[in-house]
Structure 1
């Protein structure tokens, strides 16, 4: 049986990339992110635990972006 994948857009200081990843692959990217990574899915900001609990067959596009810091 094939694992569900979803579109994952990853932004960083060099640009961005779009991948089709499984939940495990996406969570690995979240954990290896440098500094704070903001996670968006379904137009909402999520915590890593919320993404881990999401139904991967309906989660839609996931966006991983560097967190913004105000100064």
Structure 2
């Protein structure tokens, strides 16, 4: 059980890192037209929301692991 939870936590953390990298890449783009900028901002917001959900899941899984220890 703990090994499976550990694997889930690892995958969640890895996915979170990838989302953070994608957000950083989107934010680092050179000057864009207003339409492109709006589209990028929507993508960033979506990714940030997904990242927040993943981080909450990771925190929950960590709490579960700590309860078993």
Shared fold per TM-score greater than 0.5: no
Which structure has the bigger radius of gyration? 2
Greater strand content? 1
